Amino acid sequence: MTDIPFRVGVLGAGQIAQAAHFPACRKSKDVELYAICDAADDLRDRMTLVHQPTTSFDDYDKMLADENVDAVVVAVADQFHVPLAVRALDAGKHVLVEKPMGVTVEEAEDLVAAQQRNDRVVLVGHEKRYDPGIAFAHDFIQDEIGELIGLKHWYCDSTYRYAFTDTVQPLIEHSAAPRRPSGDPKANRQRYYVLGHGSHLLDTARYLGGPITALRARLSTKAGTFCWFVEAEYENGCLGQFDLTLAVRMDWWEGFQVYGSEGSVVGKVHNPWYLKTAEVQAFSAKDDQFHQPIGADANVFRLQIEDLAAAARTGSTPRGATAVDGLASVRAMVALARSVESGDWVRLADVEGGV
Ligand SMILES: NC(=O)c1ccc[n+]([C@@H]2O[C@H](COP(=O)([O-])OP(=O)(O)OC[C@H]3O[C@@H](n4cnc5c(N)ncnc54)[C@H](O)[C@@H]3O)[C@@H](O)[C@H]2O)c1
């Protein structure tokens, strides 16, 4: 890293920017919150007062024209991600685009093409990869437990989640007129939950187990709950079993069990807003020992923007999800949706369209 900070312009001053990206940039020693851009004057003005960026913009093209901006964080509604991220890449910026990377396979492919055409770094906001427990599990699985046999992963939101996220997040300010896509993205709950939460589950499942080739999913909507039980086939022959449930009548419940020929890894993951390291126990048959990481620094959003800065400046391989990973997660979400409709196995390579 040089002494000159990596200058970030954040597009969108809504909930995720306020709870994650503004504080992450400001807390980082490597990164400067250089610009805030939002078309909503009321919110942009308030966030500029609070977070004191060097400059602010009401228009995205003006921010992209500023040559001091090294990277753009695309923190707007899902449907806007790909077109706005592509414009940033074509303007020569590196990009952190919120998850899900896109809402259709075709537009996600466009973003991969734009990344390759411009040779810039693209990371997708799958911040769980920076949880020190999950990162440790990933590395231990790669290095210590041999051939993968089976992987179970569950992601169950809690009916009480707003009671605790409202407690730990900063008070979120809202605009009277935010720029949003037409229609109500929450109207189709099935689609909304797969994009919002399924994207996290599928990225973590890929991060731990490797590429997924096919899925077969069932959905129960009893009692207002959306409960997907999913069988997965990994490229390496590992059997996968996932549970995505919105919401369980209990506390947040997320975790994984991974069985290998030379060991195993189990983990309990906390709600991301606690910024608390997952509790992971990893057993290696090589030394007959359990290994348990602790992680004092679990500020996943700060680690994420620092990963982008390091990859952009030094060419280091990012820990985070790349555009290719983002496309794979979009394919997995679409496969999940198609499989619920047909009841059959769906190969990720064959899917097209949206969730
Ligand atoms: N990583 C996570 O865990 C996580 C958690 C929550 C939300 N998200 C994601 O973050 C994204 C944003 O969610 P949010 O709730 O903050 O959205 P939001 O709609 O509340 O805020 C987006 C802001 O961007 C502005 N905006 C949109 N398009 C613009 C444009 N072209 N030019 C200028 N300003 C523009 C809007 O005026 C709005 O203020 C979503 O994709 C969501 O899925 C991620």
Mind listing the pLDDT tens digit of every residue in the chain (355 residues)? 567 899 999 999 999 999 999 999 999 999 999 999 999 999 999 999 999 999 999 999 999 999 999 999 999 999 999 999 999 999 999 999 999 999 999 999 999 999 999 999 999 999 999 999 999 999 999 999 999 999 999 999 999 999 989 999 999 999 999 999 999 989 999 999 999 999 999 999 999 999 999 999 999 999 999 999 999 999 999 999 999 999 999 999 999 999 999 999 999 999 999 999 999 999 999 999 999 999 889 999 999 999 999 999 999 999 999 999 999 999 999 999 999 999 999 999 999 999 9
- Predicted local distance difference test score (pLDDT) of residue 2: 66
**Which residue in this structure is represented by tokens 């440790």?**
136
| β-pair partners for 191 | none
Instruction: In whole angstroms, give the CA distance from residue 162 to residue 298.
Output: 21
Cα distances (angstroms) measured from residue 219 to each of 49, 153, 164, 230: 46, 16, 27, 9
pTM above 0.85, yes or no: yes
- Whether 313 is in the pocket of ligand 1, judged by its Cβ within 6 Å, is no
DSSP string, 171-187: PPP--SS----SS-TTS
CA of 143 to the centre of ligand 1 (A): 37
Helix (H) or strand (E) holding 216: strand 212-220
DSSP state of 104: B
Cα–Cα distance between 271 and 279 in angstroms, integer? Answer: 12
- Residue 275 CB less than 6 A away from ligand 1: no
Q: Give all domains of the chain, ordered by start, each with its CATH number.
A: 6-127+303-321 (3.40.50.720), 129-296+330-350 (3.30.360.10)
The residue to mutate among 78, 81, 97, 98, having the most atoms of ligand 1 within 8 angstroms of its beta carbon, is 98
How many A from CA of 217 to the centre of ligand 1? 29
Q: What's the CA-to-centroid distance between 193 and ligand 1, angstroms? A: 16
SS3 40: coil
Residue 331 to residue 337: CA distance in whole angstroms: 10
Q: What is the whole-number distance in angstroms between the Cα of residue 283 and the centre of ligand 1?
A: 40
pLDDT for position 295: 85
Residue 69, ligand 1, Cβ within 6 A: no
Q: What is the distance of C-alpha 291 from the center of its chain? A: 27
DSSP 29: S
DSSP β-bridge partners for residue 71: 8, 94
**Ligand 1 midpoint to CA 191 (Å):** 17
